[in-house]
Amino acid sequence: MRVFFALLFRNRLAGIGGVVLAIIVALVLLTPVLPLQNPDVTAMGDRFLRPLSPGHLLGTDALGRDLLSRLLWGTRLSLAVGFAAAVAAGLIGSAVGIIAGYAGGRIDNAIMRFVDMLMAFPYILLALAIVAALGPGLMNALIAVAAVNVPFFARNIRGITVGLASRDFIDAARLSGKGHVRIVLTELLPNVLPVIVIAMSTTIGWMILETAGLSFLGLGSQPPQADLGSMLGEARAAMISAPHTSVVPGVMIFLIVMSINLLGDGVRDALDPRLKSGALTRPMAATRVARRNVPEAQGSGLLQIDDLEAQFHVGRRVYRAVNGVSLSIAPGECVGLIGESGSGKSVTALSVMGLVASPPGVITGGAVRLADEDLIGAPYARLRALRGNKVAYVFQDPLSTLHPLYRVGDQLTEAITSHHRISAHEARERALKLLADVRIPNPAARLSAYPHELSGGMRQRIGIAMALANEPEVIIADEPTTALDVTVQAQVLALLDDLRRRKNVAIVFITHDFGIVGQLCDRVAVMYAGRIVEEGPTERVLSDPAHPYTRRLIACVPELGGGRRQLPAIPGLPPAVDQLPEGCAFAPRCDRATPDCAQGEIGLRGSLRKVRCIHPEAEVGA
Amino acid sequence: MSVMLQTRDLSKSFPVGRRLLGAPRGFVHALRPTSITVEQGETLGIVGESGCGKSTLARMLVGLMPPSGGSIEIDGTALDRADPAVFGRMIQYVFQDPSGCLNPRQTIRQILDAPLRLLYRMDAPARAARIAELLDAVNLRAEFLDRYPHEFSGGQAQRIGIARALAAAPRILVLDEPVSALDVSVQAQVLNLLADLKAQLDLTYLFISHDLAVVEAVSDRIVVLYFGTVVESGPAERVFASPRHPYTKLLADSAPAVGRPLLKGAEGELPDPLNPPPGCAFASRCPAATEICRRDTPPLRIIDGDQFAACHHPLAP
């Protein structure tokens, strides 16, 4: 709750709206006990008294009634009616929306078509028709305004419900013995409630305006009862001679609707979970860099990463995702980067081209050199010239990296023409050749296909073709086969292996699968808690792991042909990267750990093979 | 050994191109008539790639999806879909996505409470005792009870999912890719936990996965599905070691393994489900396919003892 108010008042306009509304609400709540004159008593002698007249602070209206008194009583009524209409519309609309969204199929179809029909009428016409049928009166105006706003709630809530109703937890509730009513009330409703509150807070202002509109037309409150709309309506005849009679209720309507709308927007933003995580802020074009010094190059690879440090700054917390990673990749070499989720392998890869989202990501140290040119902190124009050109990426899920609304051929040619000035015809020829290169059958027809028309394996081939489009020197593949079936995975891996040998492309292959590393990579680096804990030629690391983490990770992955067995699991969990322990991060889970493992900095030892351990399983040599 | 679960010609087809009135334009057969038998105390592994019908089969078994044809029998009685409480006590489901199967706005206590209250009508003290027992069974601490799902890691959330399934005290657990969303080190923890629970509680498992090595490590028998049909079934130690169906062999050879060269030259994907080819669905990708394969659908038949395959030209062992 405190967090909610802090977020709400961070938006200054919402704060102003809240204060204004609070004053108005306090005033109308106090109206019955305030020393006000009777709002309905006429005094023809005191007609049209100007504001600040003795005894009448805001003056009087055409019948000599006290305007201040009528204003407060009228505001009280208008607020009550608007609020009641919003609650009624919210309740009925949400109920309709939840039922339609949960039931689905024909029921959903029937309900939503009826709602669409209601929405097809201009709302004021519909409200007029309802009041005409029911007769004038404040209660009927309330019903009309509520009815007019039901479709808005119904459509909104149905959309949310449809998304929730297909989630696994609804099925889980069904298996727990819950019936439809219980599922709607205990599973769906708590999840849509914030949306209902948001929708209500942003529409209540409209409903007050609409009720005022009906009263203005004489269809709402009946004389002598005052509400803001009827006050305006009665003042219309004297608008020129006694403008204050219409200005007073007009200003009040303005203040109410304005403050409610400002507050409603604030509530919406404060309740939006995306805002809390900072996701609504658009990431910068390149990762923010805040490093003190540039380390010396430790090797002479085509892609040379030295002491890279990347962090995420969320609020006061600092997540140290990458802590001093050094890696050297030679031309045409395939290096595997292996680790579990949260080990920093993807952040390392994204840092190379400044692709870590900022905020919250910051590169706090190290250097990434491509052919001796430092890319960390390079100007955006330079990074852009290199991205997809010299260094290309292949991501895990091709469905989310390909634009769903463009044909794959257009996306492929765009990848080429953004780095090369060639004609559309030439670009198409190249795109065709690329598709043939990644062994897509019938490439000419596939160029005009949309991503959703292709299978997962075909989409990933397109992703690889895009990466190859500008003949890069380095391809960074971030779990490119994790989303694919095994037989398709084998095809894609064979393709990648073949391409790198034919085109002499260096590949950084990020994965969690030792089998893939064993089949594809020349060298492998194992990451744990943001650091490389072991590195070396693939065969030797896999057959004779030196770091206890590597050995145990390999042991707990079942291998085909091993038969039925108990797997030697690693107890515990990797450490949270905002609370890294001193010394070796694996020590708390390690069976070889001694007290000195939790002290000081443990360096990466060795040259050809490296290990970050003071009690290694195997000697790595100097 | 008694039969715990049996399906007879169980099938599911989805209408495509539904019209407001009248018959739909066509059907996609997600699962063709399938008969499987699971013995009491056995772990049956079900393997296949996406679109093979394994999740459709699982969801029908636990009553989340009505079958289009055939029957399901649990412990000798036909599955009654009318009352979820009845089959909920017989068979339960563990979901693939550990955080998606927990309602984000309910505490762990509320999640575990529902099956006890609704399926067994337990009173409050009995429920509290049972929840403590369940949490202990999946190696979670009691202080987790009043927390919300987003506070848990994937492995912990999956343990809660397993505890939720066990709360109904079922005889059979359908595990639909229970470890594929987890990290490898956590995967082994959960697999071992499942093995312990099975022994303690005398459960029967249906273990569905696309990861052949995991399935082989936990199963007694394995069923291989392709394009909605069982293409091979047999004892776990033999199915992948000496596959009889060419598709099983392709699967086994595709699994990445240290020290084995990458598989070259195996192209092709699933046929179009809207226009299934006549004969064997694998024929277009099969190196041994002949005339008959493209004409007649091969039936599932005994190849060697308890190993079955649906193939006109089964491979030699």
Classify B5 as helix, strand or coil.
strand
- What are the beta bridge partners of residue B31? B12
Among A464, A491, A511, the domain boundary falls at A464
Residue-wise pLDDT tens digits, A478-517: 999 888 888 888 888 998 899 899 989 999 999 988 889 9
Chain B residue with minimum CA distance to A106: B20
- pLDDT recorded at residue A217: 87
Contact state of A485 with B101 under an 8 Å Cβ cutoff: no
C-alpha distance from A561 to closest chain B C-alpha (Å): 6
Q: Is A518 on the interface with B (CB under 8 A)?
A: yes
Residues of B in contact with A517 (CB under 8 A): 258
> Alpha-carbon Rg of chain A, whole angstroms?
34
Q: Residue A282 domain-assigned?
A: no
C-alpha distance from B10 to closest chain A C-alpha (Å): 21
DSSP state of B235: E
DSSP state of A223: T
Res A460 pLDDT > 70: yes
Classify B225 as helix, strand or coil.
strand
- pLDDT recorded at residue B80: 67
Residues of B in contact with A191 (CB under 8 A): 103-105
Q: Residue A365 domain-assigned?
A: no
C-alpha distance from A518 to closest chain B C-alpha (Å): 5
C-alpha distance from A343 to closest chain B C-alpha (Å): 11
- pLDDT recorded at residue B20: 61
The count of other CB atoms within 10 Å of the CB of residue B58 is 22
Q: Is A35 exposed, middle or buried (0-12, 13-18, 19+ CB in 10 A)?
A: exposed
Contact state of A519 with B257 under an 8 Å Cβ cutoff: yes
DSSP E strands: which ranges in B111-227?
A: 172-176, 204-209, 221-226
- pLDDT recorded at residue A120: 86
For A126-140, letters b (16+ CB in 10 Å) and e give bbbebbeeeebebeb
Of B165, B293, B308, the C-alpha closest to B234 is: B308
Q: Tell me if A143 sits within 8 A of A134, measured CB to CB.
A: yes
Residues of A in contact with B64 (CB under 8 A): 171, 174-175
Max CA separation in chain A (angstroms): 109
Q: Tell me if B39 sits within 8 A of B235, measured CB to CB.
A: no
Contact state of B103 with A512 under an 8 Å Cβ cutoff: no
Of B209, B225, B227, the C-alpha closest to B217 is: B209
Q: Is A573 on the interface with B (CB under 8 A)?
A: yes
Residues of B in contact with A514 (CB under 8 A): 258
Q: Tell me if B120 sits within 8 A of B205, measured CB to CB.
A: no
Selected residue with higher pLDDT from A320 and A276 = A320
Q: Is the peptide bond before A359 cis (omega within 30 degrees of 0)?
A: yes
Q: Tell me if A153 sits within 8 A of A89, measured CB to CB.
A: yes
Q: Structural domain tally of chain A? A: 2
Among A464, A492, A509, the domain boundary falls at A464
Of B92, B104, B253, the CB nearest to A191: B104
Residues of chain B with pLDDT under 50: none
Res A77 pLDDT > 60: yes
Of A168, A491, A493, the CB nearest to B267: A491
Residues of A in contact with B269 (CB under 8 A): 455, 457-458, 488
Res A231 pLDDT > 60: yes
Cα-based distances in Å from A125 to A146, A499, B120: 14, 67, 55
Q: Which two tokens stand for residue B8?
A: 């007879």
Share of chain A above pLDDT 90, in %: 41
- pLDDT recorded at residue B112: 94
Chain B residue with minimum CA distance to A565: B217
Chain A residue with minimum CA distance to B250: A487
Q: Is A494 on the interface with B (CB under 8 A)?
A: yes
Contact state of B263 with A494 under an 8 Å Cβ cutoff: yes
Chain B residue with minimum CA distance to A192: B105
Contact state of B64 with A457 under an 8 Å Cβ cutoff: no
- Give the ranges where chain B is alpha helix by DSSP (H): 54-61, 84-88, 108-120, 124-137, 154-167, 184-201, 212-218, 236-239, 246-254
- pLDDT recorded at residue A100: 94
Residue-wise pLDDT tens digits, B140-176: 888 889 989 888 888 899 999 999 999 999 999 999 9
C-alpha distance from A113 to closest chain B C-alpha (Å): 13
Average pLDDT of span A233-248: 88
Q: Which two tokens stand for residue B78?
A: 């036909």
- pLDDT recorded at residue A340: 87
Contact state of B50 with A571 under an 8 Å Cβ cutoff: no
C-alpha distance from B148 to closest chain A C-alpha (Å): 13
Cα-based distances in Å from B117 to A177, B112, B167, B235: 9, 9, 10, 40
Of B164, B186, B261, the CB nearest to A176: B164
Contact state of B252 with A560 under an 8 Å Cβ cutoff: yes
CA A133 to chain centre: 46
Contact state of A486 with B95 under an 8 Å Cβ cutoff: no
Q: Tell me if A542 sits within 8 A of A354, measured CB to CB.
A: no
Q: Would you say the C-alpha torsion A87, A92, A96, A99 has a positive or negative sign?
A: positive
Residues of A in contact with B251 (CB under 8 A): 486-487
Q: Residue A44 domain-assigned?
A: no
The CATH number for A134's domain is 1.10.3720.10
State how far the Cα of B280 lies from the Cα of B312, in Å rounded to an integer: 9
- pLDDT recorded at residue A225: 87
Residue-wise pLDDT tens digits, A106-162: 899 999 999 988 888 887 888 888 888 988 888 998 999 999 999 999 999 999 999
State how far the Cα of B253 lies from the Cα of B245, in Å rounded to an integer: 13
Residue-wise pLDDT tens digits, B26-74: 788 899 999 999 999 999 999 988 888 898 999 999 888 889 999 999 8
| Residue appearing with tokens 């005290």 | B169
Q: Residue A568 domain-assigned?
A: no
Residues of B in contact with A179 (CB under 8 A): 84
Contact state of A494 with B115 under an 8 Å Cβ cutoff: no
ipTM of the complex: 0.90
- What are the beta bridge partners of residue A39? none
Residue-wise pLDDT tens digits, A163-216: 899 889 999 998 888 889 999 999 999 999 988 988 888 888 889 998 888 888
Q: Residue A610 domain-assigned?
A: no
For domain B3-14+27-219, give the CATH number: 3.40.50.300
Range(s) for CATH 3.40.50.300 in chain B? 3-14+27-219
- pLDDT recorded at residue A456: 82
Q: Is A465 exposed, middle or buried (0-12, 13-18, 19+ CB in 10 A)?
A: buried
| Phi and psi torsions of A343, nearest 5° | -80, -10
Residue-wise pLDDT tens digits, A281-323: 667 888 888 888 888 888 888 999 999 999 998 878 889 999 9
State how far the Cα of B73 lies from the Cα of B172, in Å rounded to an integer: 12
Q: Is A492 on the interface with B (CB under 8 A)?
A: no
**Residue A275: pLDDT band with limits 50, 70, 90:** low
Contact state of A172 with B195 under an 8 Å Cβ cutoff: no
For chain A positions 125-144, those within 8 Å of chain B (CB to CB) are none
Please enumerate in sequence order all residues whose Cβ is within 8 A of that of B129, keeping only pairs 6 or more positions apart, or say none: none
Mean pLDDT of chain A: 88
Res A277 pLDDT > 60: no
- pLDDT recorded at residue A195: 87
Q: Residue A480 domain-assigned?
A: no
Q: Tell me if B95 sits within 8 A of B104, measured CB to CB.
A: no
Please enumerate in sequence order all residues whose Cβ is within 8 A of that of A347, keeping only pairs 6 or more positions apart, or say none: A310, A321, A322, A356, A361
Residue-wise pLDDT tens digits, A549-599: 999 999 888 888 777 778 888 888 888 888 888 889 999 999 899 998 988
Q: Tell me if B102 sits within 8 A of A172, measured CB to CB.
A: yes
DSSP E strands: which ranges in B145-212?
A: 172-176, 204-209
| Phi and psi torsions of A111, nearest 5° | -60, -45
| Residue appearing with tokens 């090595």 | B213
- pLDDT recorded at residue B100: 86
State how far the Cα of A236 lies from the Cα of A242, in Å rounded to an integer: 10
DSSP state of A219: S
Of B96, B114, B259, the CB nearest to A178: B114
**Residue A38: pLDDT band with limits 50, 70, 90:** confident
Please enumerate in sequence order all residues whose Cβ is within 8 A of that of B317, keeping only pairs 6 or more positions apart, or say none: B242, B244, B304
Contact state of B210 with A566 under an 8 Å Cβ cutoff: no
Residues of A in contact with B267 (CB under 8 A): 439, 441, 491
Which residues span the domain enclosing A428?
406-464
Q: Residue A263 domain-assigned?
A: yes
Q: Is A569 on the interface with B (CB under 8 A)?
A: yes
Chain B residue with minimum CA distance to A553: B185
